[in-house]
Amino acid sequence: MKHSLPDLVVATLAVFSLAACTTPMFTMPPGPEEYRAGFYDGCDAGYAYAGSPFYHEVDTAALARIDEPYHTGWQAGFDRCRGSYQRIQKAVSSMLGPP
């Protein structure tokens, strides 16, 4: 299947706009404020781990010394956003990859 240049441009812009998104605080899962803050931070770290150019990797060694609700939220956010970005990458790769 041959892809035209406008199709590639639209797909690339869509990927970058989706990849630049992080989970807004008001859409966080329910729970204590510490859990929600951890989820937000973990989501950013998950995007970075999955390869998003808009996020920087964080040092996870310090997480062992953090409160349980924050740590649990961080891990949940990391897993969700890492998986989400990896699914985006896979979809784009299958659309724009070699025929």
Q: Are 41 and 72 in contact (CB under 8 A)?
A: no
- Identity of the amino acid at 7: D
Domain positions in the chain are 5-96
Tens of pLDDT, residues 22-61: 556 566 788 899 999 889 889 999 999 998 888 888 776 6
Tens of pLDDT, residues 55-91: 888 776 666 667 889 999 999 999 999 999 999 888 8
Q: Is the pTM of this model over 0.95?
A: no
Alpha-helical runs (H) found in the chain: 5-19, 33-50, 68-96
Q: Are 70 and 35 in contact (CB under 8 A)?
A: yes
